Structure 1
Amino acid sequence: MPVPQSRGLVPRSLLRENAYQAIRDAIVDGTLAPGERLSDGELSEWLGVSRTPVREALARLEQAGLVRTRPGRYTIVSPLDVRAVRAAQSVTAAMHELAVREALPNLTGAELDAMRQANARFADALRRDDVDAAIAADDDFHGVPVTASANDAVRTVLEQFTPVLRRLERLRFSSLSGRGSVAQHDQIIALCEAGDVEGAAAATRANWGTLVPLLDTLPTEES
């Protein structure tokens, strides 16, 4: 498999977590393409770690639906499959809606400002066609109510399912279909500022629902 040229990216103090994050991010950004075979040895060389944290990372990535393993045969990057992505979209939308419901009664002016700033960065990234920056800003925007909700269960579920959606979001933010999210974010902020829990929750779910049309472009795998 082709691997990035940089080596030794993972600090020794955080081998397991950073190995997981590095491989996950390479899958999400397309460096490691759907269907590509993954070699423990090549990943270890790229990250500058032993095979143990790499194998542990691959096991976590399999649970997240990003890789598939056939013991003794191969490990590959999972193809983008409509059923897996649809499930991830449904769960993720519900978790973000719940986060807004729980965060809104106590959402501060500073947190609303943080959402506005993130949305401004998001809009700027879309204008520059910078998909990575758009995804990072979108993460920051939605991360404000997730953090403010102080619900560890929500965060845990999102950490598992969001990476599956990130590959789909790269398609959305690289096209005109992602531009409407800026206005949707503004609406969410306005509803939060007005204290409209039901409105803000519904607007958040609708925002995540904009991924649904892209699901029709994905293949449905035969069982």
Structure 2
Amino acid sequence: MTVSQGPLKGRARRSVLTDDVYERVKSLVMNGDLAPGARVNIYAVARLLDVSQTPVREVLAALESEGLLTKEALRGYSVAPVLTAAQVADLYQLRLLLEPWAAARAAERITPGAAARLRAELDSVPQAPQGTRYEDYQAIAAHDARFHDLVAELSGSPALRESLQRTHSHLHLFRIEYEGRRSGEPTLAEHARIAETLAAGRAQEAEQAMRDHLTAARDRFLRIGPTT
């Protein structure tokens, strides 16, 4: 079983070991080695990864906070179910209400430093992945989360930014389950258009570019996912 050993993303660093365990457990979930609904036993994971239970406990709690795991009293952790098509549509409806506004606001507030950050984020993933496992797709999945988080940050609304942070892992689980990671190229092109309008300070165009991107992403999801 191949598992990733990349750095921990999206939360404060605690230790190299915890970072490693985080990515290895996340890979098990994202690759389907731990299937939706499967129980995740702390002791079994610690034995599998040949580590102590302490970093495993920290990692499972972090993955629960991201929505990848659920926890029930007396039962412990389980892998969260993959979203249904109706849940995906509902989630995108929320994003369509929030993120176009965030893009317009970010364009109004843009600075040279912020524009440079957008360009650097685009440069972090110069091309779409070709592989079929999470290790191959990990870079663009992380880029997608960072890009949307950066736009939310640049809008100046902490509440909006926080409300969007939990959506990304759920959507990537759905994508991996049903799509096989085939949306990388259009995603990168759409991100580039958003970044261009933001950097130029064109608020209305930025709003429309974000709306077009989210609508296209939603439609890609719904074309390949389940019907219920």
- What aligned pairs does 1:34-113 form with structure 2 within 5 A after superposition? 34-45=36-47, 46=49, 48-50=52-54, 53=58, 56-57=61-62, 60=65, 64=67, 66-69=68-71, 71-73=73-75, 75-82=77-84, 83-113=86-116
| Residues 141 and 21 of structure 1: CA distance in aligned 2, closer, same or farther (over 3 Å) | same
Deviation at 1:204, TM superposition (A): 0.9
- The answer on whether the counterparts of 1:169 and 1:211 sit within 8 Å (CA) in structure 2 is no
Deviation track 1:165-204 (CA, whole Å, cap 9, x = no partner) reads: 12234466822x4312233223222322343212211211
| Residues 205 and 27 of structure 1: CA distance in aligned 2, closer, same or farther (over 3 Å) | farther
Deviation track 1:61-92 (CA, whole Å, cap 9, x = no partner) reads: 5xx3x334554457431232323333333334
Deviation at 1:56, TM superposition (A): 4.4
Answer yes or no: is 1:208 the counterpart of 2:210. Answer: no
Q: Which runs of 5+ in 2 are unaligned?
A: none
TM-score normalised by length of structure 1: 0.70
Determine which of 7, 18, 27 is the counterpart of 2:29. 27
Distance 2:170 2:140 in 1: 17
Distance 2:22 2:158 in 1: 19
Distance 1:144 1:48 in 2: 35
| Residues 119 and 60 of structure 1: CA distance in aligned 2, closer, same or farther (over 3 Å) | closer
Q: Which runs of 5+ in 1 are unaligned?
A: none
| Residues 58 and 13 of structure 1: CA distance in aligned 2, closer, same or farther (over 3 Å) | closer
Deviation track 1:13-49 (CA, whole Å, cap 9, x = no partner) reads: 58xx979965556534545332322113224554633
Q: How many residues align?
A: 210
Identify the residue that residue 202 of structure 2 maps to in structure 1: 196
Letter in 1 for 2:156: A
Distance 1:178 1:12 in 2: 28
Deviation track 1:133-167 (CA, whole Å, cap 9, x = no partner) reads: 22233333333322222322122112222221122
Determine which of 204, 208, 226 is the counterpart of 1:219. 226
Distance 1:96 1:207 in 2: 10
Please give the secondary structure, in 2, of the residue aligned with 1:211.
helix
Please give the secondary structure, in 2, of the residue aligned with 1:210.
helix
Letter in 1 for 2:226: P
Distance 2:75 2:110 in 1: 50
What is the alpha-carbon root mean square deviation over aligned residues? 3.8
| Residues 173 and 147 of structure 1: CA distance in aligned 2, closer, same or farther (over 3 Å) | farther
Letter in 1 for 2:225: L
Deviation at 1:220, TM superposition (A): 5.6
Distance 1:137 1:55 in 2: 23
- The answer on whether the counterparts of 1:3 and 1:43 sit within 8 Å (CA) in structure 2 is no
Distance 1:173 1:209 in 2: 20
Identity of aligned residues (%): 21
- What aligned pairs does 1:153-168 form with structure 2 within 5 A after superposition? 153-168=159-174
TM-score normalised by length of structure 2: 0.69
Distance 1:57 1:190 in 2: 34
- The answer on whether the counterparts of 2:194 and 2:206 sit within 8 Å (CA) in structure 1 is yes
